[in-house]
Structure 1
Amino acid sequence: MKNNDIFYIQKIIEYCDIVDSLLDEYERDYAVFQSSKSFQLSTSMCIVQIGEYVSRLSDEFKQENDNIPWRQIKGMRNFAAHQYEHFEFEVLWHTITDELPELKQSLLPLL
């Protein structure tokens, strides 16, 4: 693993932690999420940042860890960045409550 990969993994984990803190701040309440633009925008920006860091990981690292859905993570980033007005917030909610914790758990042992 390259040193840059370690840095990018740490940044991805950091953004997963930010989302987790936001969820705690808003009491993990989907109704609040639906009604709070700041909650939606904050978590969407974290998704964008995570996708950016995924795109900077070396191909070698991603190939060695092909159990992680790198392409889907990047696709979610692209959708959040370029199609935000069409974003289905149920999908974003699932991503931040289910998929990001799984991503973090997959990345922690790799550090």
Structure 2
Amino acid sequence: MQHNKDLTYLKNIATYLQKMLKFSDGLTLEEFRENEMAYDACVLNFINVAESFKLLSSSFKLKYPTIPYHKIMGLRNIAAHTYEGLDATILYETIKKDIPFLAVEINNILKNEQ
């Protein structure tokens, strides 16, 4: 039963990651900073990613230790608790450098687990 919940959370995570990539696609850092809708949408989706990761079972997290759970939660805490303090540069760089790799990893896990 927990396996099915984990798969549901992973599917949600994959969706949130794709939305972040879509909402920031083609934007420079400056454009991302100035585009309130894109920035806000990415913040919200990042928080959703982290919240979904938090719900994954311990056995799942042990099985897939390469996912940077603590880093994701750390940035989520900044985004959720100090919204004005979240540096757009950090979020943008995370989206451009880390999210594509995380999206591929999540999609690969989904293929292997189904």
Q: What TM-score does the superposition give when structure 1 sets the normalisation length?
A: 0.92
- 1:28 positional shift: 2.5
Partner of 2:28: 29
Please say if 1:41 is aligned against 2:48: no
The answer to whether structure 1 residue 110 and structure 2 residue 109 are counterparts is yes
Deviation track 1:57-83 (CA, whole Å, cap 9, x = no partner) reads: 001101110011011111111110101
Percent identity of equivalent pairs = 27
2:98 is the alignment partner of 1:66: no
> After the TM superposition, which segments of 4 or more aligned residues of structure 1 sit over 4 Å from their partners?
none
Q: How many residues align?
A: 109
Q: Does 1:53 align with 2:52?
A: yes
Q: Does 2:17 correspond to 1:9?
A: no
Residue aligning to 1:87: 86
CA distance in structure 1 between the aligned counterparts of 2:77 and 2:67, rounded to whole angstroms: 17
1:73-110 CA-to-partner distances (Å, cap 9, x unmatched) read: 11111110101111111110111111111111111111
The letter of the residue matching 2:63 is E
Matched letter for residue 14 of structure 1: T
1:4 Cα offset (Å)? 0.6
Unmatched runs of 5 consecutive residues or more in structure 2: none
Report the residue type matching 1:58 in the other structure.
S
Aligned counterparts of 1:40 and 1:28: Cα–Cα separation in 2:
11
